[in-house]
Amino acid sequence: MNMQECEAQCLANCTCMAYTNPDASLGGRGCLLWFGELIDIRVYPEVKSGRDIFVRIAASNESVAQLSYIKKRGANTKIIILVIVAGVLLIGFTTSWLWHVRKGNNHDESMEEGVISKRQEEAMELPLFTFSRIANATANFSPDNKLGEGGFGPVYKGVLEQGHHVAVKRLSRNSSQGLDEFRNEVICISKLQHRNLVKLLGCCIQGDEKLLIYEYMPNKSLDAFIFDKAQGMFLDWTRRFNIIKGIARGLVYLHQDSRFRIIHRDLKASNILLDQDMNPKISDFGIARSFGGNESRGNTEIVVGTYGYMSPEYALDGIFSMKSDVFSFGVLVLEIVSGKRNRRFTQQENNNNLMGYTWNLYNEGRSMELVDATFAESCHPQEVLRSIQVGLLCVQQNAGDRPNMSSVIMMLSGEHSFPQPKQPAYFMEGDLFAANFSASTKPTGSINELTITEVDAR
């Protein structure tokens, strides 16, 4: 190239910082270009004359960036070049330092905006907390503030500057759940407002750190009461019955009254939180699914949920619907009445599980024997019998035989007639283990085509 072509080549590339003709012996031709920082300019021995180097400098207020040239003549030229190079490096270092400082101060917000913006149209506006603020609120996630740990990760109690208590769910790096579940919970629950659903106050994202900030539930989760004899004394029948009805109202909202139809898919005792007045609030929407329009069911190749609460059509075929949540609700009702876990209960005489045991008592007219002794004296028999029958109707084998949650509300209040329940889906303990296998199991022995992931919440 000649010098005019060399100049045009440099001007056409915004990363070109300088150009020159490297060798006078080439007859005015030849082009040497510098890109990026001028870190490879060298100081040569004293000479009587040298070549011209044209360096890009900062633009003035009236014009765009332009190329200017510096004639280096002997020692003076070398000094000028060194000053320019030092200035460029100093400006670059200062700019880089300021950028990093700004990034450090606003890292939380920028990361949050970058991730959440992918679903901005879907997600309602949700407060974004800085990581440093949450770390301060939880005493840097002190073990003393740890409330429990589930499939998502550990949960910590925190106190914000104004004295508000919060629960902070922190995604574990070893968690089976990840960014998809995090986003799913943010998007699902941020759209929901109901007294029987836990309230999401905000979220925080910083690099690998993903946090969900909820209202604090001082009485933790339902399983801590109904499966513990000492704690169970604090739940008389009136409170238990109110908890059953509160969960039912929350499901009616999810299935019918919310902006989107929500199927929870992991309803269980540990995902029911209790406020200071023992009011129930449904939590943990990490694997929930939302539907629009007239959609009411879906299917998946990977079954996730908790063993013992999953409906047969979901555990075996991956088909989930509102009736899947109804089944889980039925199991939960029987657990609240009996104070026994469905998963671990076995009637030794005939190997029945909790549902089979309840079914036998019902057929023999001995349903009151199911009642947990801790509240037997405080119970109202008609409400107890009503609850047991509702529980059996909800855990029937065929999804079409199960009532919807609106009918459940009316049956619990005595405003709806009761159909005769049919035999539960998992009558024997062995039936529960059979749910580990796909309904499409072939005689060749191809088994376990569907993976059941157990997620234990706080």
Spatial neighbors of 185 by CB under 8 A, at least 6 apart, are 200, 212, 284, 285, 286, 288
Catalytically active residues, by annotation: 266
Q: How many CA atoms lie within 13 A of 412 on its CB side?
A: 25
Q: Specify whether the CB–CB gap between 287 and 298 falls below 8 A.
A: no
Q: Specify whether the CB–CB gap between 239 and 309 falls below 8 A.
A: no
Q: What burial class does residue 161 get, using C-beta atoms within 10 Å of its C-beta: 0-12 exposed, 13-18 middle, 19+ buried?
A: exposed
Q: Specify whether the CB–CB gap between 320 and 300 falls below 8 A.
A: yes
Q: What burial class does residue 404 get, using C-beta atoms within 10 Å of its C-beta: 0-12 exposed, 13-18 middle, 19+ buried?
A: middle
Q: How far apart are CA 184 and CA 106, in angstroms?
A: 25
Nearest of 245, 237, 450, 456 to residue 341 by alpha carbon = 456
- Is the four-CA dihedral 161, 166, 172, 178 of positive or negative sign? negative
Q: Specify whether the CB–CB gap between 217 and 271 falls below 8 A.
A: no
User: Torsions phi, psi of 111, nearest 5?
Assistant: -65, -40
Q: Specify whether the CB–CB gap between 50 and 44 falls below 8 A.
A: yes
The number of beta carbons lying within 10 Å of the beta carbon of residue 57 is 15
User: Torsions phi, psi of 444, nearest 5?
Assistant: -70, -10
Nearest of 178, 111, 114 to residue 151 by alpha carbon = 178
Q: How far apart are CA 166 and CA 257, in angstroms?
A: 27
Nearest of 221, 219, 232 to residue 375 by alpha carbon = 232
3-state secondary structure of 310: coil
